[in-house]
Amino acid sequence: MSGAGETTSTSEVDVVFIMTELIIATTNQGKLLEIRELLSAMDLKITSLADYPDAPRIEEDGKTFSQNALKKAATIALYTGKLTLGEDSGLEVKALGGRPGIYSARFAGPGATDKKNNLKLLRSLRGVPLSKRRARYRCCAALVDGRGIIDVVSGQCAGLIALRPKGANGFGYDPLFFLPRYKKTFGELNPAVKGKISHRSRALRKIKKSLQQYLRSPL
């Protein structure tokens, strides 16, 4: 017990800083790695659905990317009561009427691999010249906590669908997504460059602003 007149120096006081947890509502390791990198400068403890194995399964039955992103975020935020980021993204090809769109991950069927999806895309565009293979990657991201919706944002990146896959970087349709400005596919592009120009990076830059405001706001 301290005697009268004794003081406790500030150096003897333990200051505990509790980092805010942000759950990324995905099981896709490629997306998770990119999101972690894009948000790496923020004071956040980033987790994913792998850390919540008992979380409810989310059926992506929305008609738009934003609906799917919001459903993912809201479902996990309600289940955990924690800050959650839901993201949905995909490829839209003009010559295919915007397909595969929200079905990008399962273009070749339920549980399809990236390779099978890429092969189906190439078959669907057989005979179409490069100049008519215009496409865009789109991403929608939703930020939700236990109290409600914080923000829903989007980003996109335009390019062409290459005649054959090139490069081993990235995931999904990256080996086929060709950017004329760089004369490379996302699969060939340096990940640091992709991290500045991709649909996901453009959406996440907007989310970062919302996160900064959220972290500054009083509880």
**Whether pLDDT at 165 is above 90:** yes
**Whether pLDDT at 152 is above 90:** yes
Q: What is the pLDDT of residue 8?
A: 47
Domain residue spans in the chain? 18-216
Beta bridge partners of 177: 161
Torsion-angle region of 91 (φ positive above 0: left; ψ -120 to 50: alpha; else: beta): beta
Query: Does the domain at residues 18-216 carry the CATH identifier 3.90.950.10?
Result: yes
> What is the pLDDT averaged over residues 90-112?
96
Q: Is 14 a catalytic residue?
A: no
pTM value is: 0.85
Q: What is the pLDDT of residue 198?
A: 96
Which residue in this structure is represented by tokens 């996440």?
204
CA dist 179 and 187 (Å) reads: 11
Candidates 14, 51, 54, 88; catalytic one: 88
User: Parallel, antiparallel, or unpaired for β 148-161 and 134-145?
Assistant: antiparallel
pLDDT band per the 50, 70, 90 thresholds, residue 9: very low
**Strand arrangement, sheet containing 184-185:** 44-48, 20-24, 84-93, 134-145, 148-161, 177-179, 184-185
pLDDT mean across residues, the chain: 91
> What is the pLDDT averaged over residues 28-56?
93
Q: What is the pLDDT of residue 14?
A: 53
**Whether pLDDT at 64 is above 90:** yes
